[in-house]
Amino acid sequence: MRLFVGLGNPGAKYARNRHNIGYMAVDRIAQDHGFGPWKSRFQGVCAEGRFGSDKLLLLKPETYMNKSGQSVGAAMNFYKLQPSDVYVFHDELDLAPAKCRVKTGGGHAGHNGLRSLHAAIGADYNRIRIGIGHPGHKDRVSTYVLHDFAKADADWIDDLLRGISEGAVHLAAGDPGKFMNAVSLRTAPPRSSNMPEKSPAKKPVRADEPPPPEDTRSMLQRLADRFR
């Protein structure tokens, strides 16, 4: 069994915040793969489903971000899971918007949700780091992550969440490489092979090449030479 955790804050006023991209990711997985219904459990809400014979539990902690570890720890204890069974979807300031990376272990880099998870279950869980970009200065981080995404972000968010949802089956099977391929096909699709070919570039003329010799033949001589 795998546990997919989306980090965020509960309540409508936080729903479109950058900090809630983890919630958005597991919501999209539940929607696209027919999970549900969402039920109150483990100090959060859960939705159950399967990818083939493998059972998957989606969890959105409702303890607020800085106490996410309480909810995740409770679910892990109930199902007797190890940190390696846990995949946490969260916002990542150090990645550009629309970028996504999978990581196991490491530090929390000041992220309050990850800090709480480290304290509750250790650092050896898996993370899906979803890029939201950085505001440019650390003093602006709190306001930035607790602010809604701009309307102009809607397209890349949709592409990224589609890719995450389509790759979720590979992630649950323990294949992060195939997961990342699915994400890339949505966020950076390969260029079409039907693109028109560029005209061959003309051979550049070297500045030191001598000019061609002047043709001193008459028009009649040129015409006669063509038919020889």
- Would you please indicate which residues are annotated as catalytic (active-site) residues? 19
Distances in Å between the alpha carbon of 99 and those of 3, 117, 218? Answer: 22, 23, 69
The reply to whether omega before 190 is within 30° of 0 (cis) is no
| Residues ≥6 apart with Cβ < 8 Å to 138 | none
- C-alpha of 197 from chain center: 32
205 in helix, strand or coil?
Answer: coil
> From edge to edge, which strands make up the β-sheet containing 86-92?
39-41, 44-51, 54-61, 2-6, 86-92, 126-131, 100-104
Strand partners, 6: 89
Q: Which structure tokens are listed for 52?
A: 């083939």
Helix%, strand%, coil% for the chain, nearest 5: 40, 20, 40
Helices marked H in the chain — which ranges?
Answer: 21-32, 68-79, 112-121, 141-145, 154-172, 176-187, 219-226
Q: Which structure tokens are listed for 133?
A: 């970009």
